[in-house]
């Protein structure tokens, strides 16, 4: 079975858990997978009604959620095309393959979108990328093993695929094994199931010990799997002695893989261990700009900034937010994302889900409580000293603690204009330098908000 068929089956199974049986039968099950290209699975239907229906946000989200659940790095998105587009796609594919390699079309082993060129570098991931690139240029003779650790969605899998793509571009016969730890464990269990020294056992050794490069993704999943740890230990030693490159990723440092066998932990940590951390604001902006450019979609600066400010957890979430925004714009026939309201609507769920993030209301409630005034008053027109001061402090705190666009603060506080907001923000900033009374007030209100 082709890889894309297998993956589509898994996605369909997830979809079937999420939608009513009628819609499943009528819409989703009618799609035919055609290929995987640059992380997108291409699905074909010749019925416009199916294409239109599945392009509605509610159905699109179901497909995207299912893709996320199966978590296969080869597929991170989808596209639905009709028969004409299919013909076009296939003819392009043929011409491309004829030029590159006349023998046969091989399904790519790595996601072609996950390259070093497409990897945006910032202070959070600079070391990991350089180390990986060095390994890709000189496998087995650079850092061995290379161990990359960091939280979810920060680019570990991307880097492994980048190594794979790079090495294959230099030597298309290199035997590069990329496996998720789950796959490794499954392969091992499968080989044990036939506990005679059967072909299967032989295949397991064949597969893993003949690698020129072995990349094992998310090794934290080895915890609690003692016999797989043992198998990896021997595989590791074999490869290492033969100067074959090993690259591992995990969500934590080897020393924190506490229940892993000590001898394996120390092997993991015996080469170079590097971390990837959460991207800072600048890197998030750079990533959004790059991805928007790749998707050939214009996004105004303040929208990029808004998304980068709001979605801070990881890069996968940032990408997801961007795709949603683009999708919503297309749905509204806009060829540029410049409408903040539309963007907020597109990201409604994502913004809500960060409910630990402060809201404008939480801060304003605290300010009102402190000054003993109502929300209507703080949003209203009155300029009595007390209310004006509360308003300015509210603006300062919102800007400082949430940093949403000034326009949003203005709209929220009774449609005040941009310059009023800037004035208030700068005034309080100044007061904090030399006015002890204001300093204490701001400190008290912050305490109230944080205890909330």
The contact set with Mg ion (CB under 5 A) reads 156-157
Q: How far is the CB of 151 from ligand ADP (least distance, A)?
A: 7
Q: Which of residues 222-281 bind ligand ADP (CB under 6 A)?
A: none
Of the candidates 171, 166, 246, 181, the one whose C-alpha atom is nearest the C-alpha of residue 211 is 246
Taking CB under 6 A as the rule, does residue 165 contact ligand ADP? no
Taking CB under 6 A as the rule, does residue 153 contact ligand ADP? yes
Q: How far is the CB of 178 from ligand ADP (least distance, A)?
A: 12
Residue 332: Cβ within 10 Å count:
11
Stretch that binds ligand ADP, among 13-21, 55-63, 118-126, 254-262 (CB under 6 A): 118-126
Q: How far is the CB of 304 from Mg ion (least distance, A)?
A: 25
Of the candidates 258, 214, 269, 204, the one whose C-alpha atom is nearest the C-alpha of residue 236 is 214
Stretch that binds ligand ADP, among 156-164, 226-234, 402-410, 436-444 (CB under 6 A): 156-164
Q: How far is Cα 124 from Cα 277, in angstroms, rounded to an integer?
A: 5
Give the chain's end-to-end CA distance (angstroms, integer): 55
Taking CB under 6 A as the rule, does residue 323 contact ligand ADP? no
Q: How far is Cα 257 from Cα 362, in angstroms, rounded to an integer?
A: 39
Q: How far is Cα 88 from Cα 94, in angstroms, rounded to an integer?
A: 10
Q: Which is nearer to Mg ion, 156 or 284 (CB)?
A: 156
- Partner interacting with residue 144 (select from ligand ADP, Mg ion, none; CB below 5-8 Å by kind): none
Binder among 146, 154, 167, 397 for ligand ADP (CB under 6 A) = 154
- Partner interacting with residue 50 (select from ligand ADP, Mg ion, none; CB below 5-8 Å by kind): none
- CA-atom Rg of the chain in angstroms: 27
Taking CB under 6 A as the rule, does residue 396 contact ligand ADP? no
Q: Which is nearer to ligand ADP, 63 or 315 (CB)?
A: 315
Binder among 35, 187, 319, 394 for ligand ADP (CB under 6 A) = 319
Taking CB under 6 A as the rule, does residue 180 contact ligand ADP? no
What residues pair up with 214 in beta bridges, in sequence order?
A: 177, 246
Q: How far is Cα 287 from Cα 294, in angstroms, rounded to an integer?
A: 10
- The residue count for binding ligand ADP (CB under 6 A) is 17
Q: Which of residues 278-307 bind ligand ADP (CB under 6 A)?
A: 287
Q: How far is Cα 236 from Cα 146, in angstroms, rounded to an integer?
A: 12
Q: Which is nearer to ligand ADP, 112 or 400 (CB)?
A: 112
Q: How far is Cα 279 from Cα 119, in angstroms, rounded to an integer?
A: 12
Stretch that binds ligand ADP, among 148-156, 193-201, 234-242, 295-303 (CB under 6 A): 148-156
Map residue 95 onto helix, strand or coil: helix
Cβ contact 158:316 at 8 Å:
no
Which token pair is 143?
A: 């850092």
| Angle between helices 315-331 and 281-294 in degrees, nearest 10 | 40
Phi first, then psi: give them for residue 251, nearest 5 degrees: -85, -5
Q: How far is the CB of 156 from ligand ADP (least distance, A)?
A: 3
Taking CB under 6 A as the rule, does residue 114 contact ligand ADP? yes
Q: What residues make contact with ligand ADP under the rule CB under 6 A?
A: 76, 114, 118-120, 125, 152-158, 287, 315-316, 319
């Amino acid at each position: 079975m082709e890889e894309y068929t297998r993956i589509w089956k898994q996605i369909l199974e997830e979809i079937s858990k999420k939608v009513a049986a009628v819609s499943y039968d009528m819409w989703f099950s009618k799609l035919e997978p055609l290929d995987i290209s640059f992380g997108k699975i291409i699905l074909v239907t010749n019925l416009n009604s199916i294409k239109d229906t599945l392009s509605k946000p509610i159905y699109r989200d179901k497909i995207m959620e299912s893709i996320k659940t199966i978590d296969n790095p080869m597929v991170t998105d989808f596209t639905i095309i009709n028969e004409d587009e299919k013909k076009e796609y296939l003819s392009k594919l043929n011409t491309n393959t004829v030029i590159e390699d006349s023998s046969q079309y091989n399904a790519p082993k790595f996601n072609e979108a996950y390259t070093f060129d497409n990897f945006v570098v910032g202070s959070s991931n600079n070391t990991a990328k350089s180390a990986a690139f060095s390994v890709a240029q000189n496998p087995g003779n650079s850092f061995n093993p290379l161990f990359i650790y960091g939280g979810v969605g920060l680019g570990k899998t991307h880097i492994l695929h980048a190594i794979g793509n790079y090495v294959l571009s230099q030597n298309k016969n290199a035997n590069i094994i990329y496996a998720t730890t789950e796959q490794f464990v499954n392969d091992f269990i499968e080989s044990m199931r036939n506990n005679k020294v059967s072909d299967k056992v032989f295949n397991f050794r064949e597969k893993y010990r003949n690698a020129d490069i072995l990349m094992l993704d998310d090794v934290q999943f080895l915890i609690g799997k003692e016999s797989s740890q043992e198998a990896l230990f021997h595989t590791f030693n074999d490869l290492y002695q033969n100067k074959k490159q090993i690259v591992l990723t995990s969500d934590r440092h080897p020393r924190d893989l506490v229940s892993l066998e000590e001898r394996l932990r120390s092997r993991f940590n015996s080469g170079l261990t590097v971390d990837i951390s959460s991207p800072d604001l600048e890197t998030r902006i750079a990533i959004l700009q790059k991805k928007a450019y790749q998707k050939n979609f214009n996004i105004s600066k303040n929208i990029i900034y808004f998304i980068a400010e709001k979605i801070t957890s990881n890069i996968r979430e940032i990408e997801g937010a961007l795709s949603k925004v683009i999708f919503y714009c297309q749905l509204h026939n806009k060829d540029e994302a410049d409408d903040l309201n539309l963007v907020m609507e597109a990201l409604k769920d994502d913004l809500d889900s960060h409910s630990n993030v402060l809201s404008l209301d939480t801060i304003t409630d605290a300010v009102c409580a402190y000054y003993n005034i109502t929300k209507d008053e703080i949003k209203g027109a009155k300029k009595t000293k007390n209310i004006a001061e509360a308003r300015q402090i509210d603006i300062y705190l919102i800007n400082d603690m949430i940093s949403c666009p000034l326009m949003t603060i203005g709209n929220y506080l009774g449609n005040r204009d941009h310059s009023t907001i800037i004035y208030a923000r700068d005034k309080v900033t100044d007061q904090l330098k030399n006015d002890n009374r204001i300093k204490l007030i701001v400190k008290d209100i912050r305490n109230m908000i944080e205890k909330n």
